[in-house]
Amino acid sequence: MVFTAWNSEMAGMYSIMDLLALVERERAQELWLQVGKPPLMVLRGQTRTLDAIPLTNENTTELFRSLATADQLRELQQCGDIQFIYVSQSSARFGVNAAIQHEELFLKIKNFSR
């Protein structure tokens, strides 16, 4: 199922803050960011594809850098995966799981504020 409620100010560009705001607004359970696919949300147990272009490894890495500290980036590079809590500007809490799989970054972001 394609989810079309997401709007980007610049076509093809992603902002982690916009994506997290959408997750919050829609009360989604999770956001998945995977190279080669558009962002996905889990909403009421159903996986929903956002109506957007597929992510590149560069896009996904930049989105992760928007969430992570320098220490967290280092840990991901050294260990291949990391988990941490991210608190947004609106005080929403998200569990971030990042892993490098086949040299590509995969992010699973759980919404703890639903």
- Percent of the chain topping pLDDT 90: 78
Please state the domain extents for the chain. 2-111
Class of domain 2-111: alpha beta
What the block records as the tokens of 97 is: 């799981």
| Distance, CA of 41 to chain centre | 9
pLDDT tens-place string over residues 13-39: 679 999 999 999 999 999 999 999 999
Give the Cα separation of 108 and 53 in Å (integer).
18
